[in-house]
């Protein structure tokens, strides 16, 4: 019988094609960065939240750009919302 894991690690991070400043970057690249980074945290976390929240742990790992703005990483800065998404749960 399958066993529920004790910890779920959600580690996301990729900006190889989305580097640039807001005035220069294509909107499609912003969307792709959010899909690759933000939603890769949100969907698995939401899926297992009710199962893991009381007895186990969910660990969300973000890059440095989620903590402080870094020039040229505008697309990656949006996923800093991950920090507030799970705070207090």
- pLDDT score of 24 more than 80: yes
Return the structure tokens found at 41: 């945290």
User: Would residue 51 count as lying in a domain?
Assistant: yes
User: Would residue 43 count as lying in a domain?
Assistant: yes
User: Would residue 64 count as lying in a domain?
Assistant: yes
pLDDT tens track for 42-61: 787 777 777 776 777 777 77
User: Would residue 88 count as lying in a domain?
Assistant: no
pLDDT tens track for 3-21: 777 777 777 666 666 677 7
Task: Label each residue of 2-64 as H, E or C.
Answer: CCCCCEEEEECCCCCCCCECCCCCCHHHHHHHHHHHHHHHHHHHHHHHHHHCCCCEEEEECCH
Q: Which domain holds residue 19?
A: 7-82
Q: Do the beta carbons of residue 77 and residue 68 sit within 8 Å?
A: no
Total number of domains constituting the chain = 1
């Amino acid at each position: 019988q399958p066993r529920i894991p004790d910890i779920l690690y959600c580690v996301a991070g990729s900006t190889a094609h989305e580097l640039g400043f807001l005035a220069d970057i294509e909107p499609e690249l912003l969307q792709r960065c959010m899909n690759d980074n933000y939603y890769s945290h949100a969907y698995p976390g939401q899926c297992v939240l009710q199962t893991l929240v009381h007895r186990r742990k969910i660990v969300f790992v973000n890059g440095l750009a989620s903590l402080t703005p870094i020039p040229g990483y505008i697309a990656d800065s949006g996923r800093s919302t991950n920090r507030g998404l799970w705070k207090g749960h």
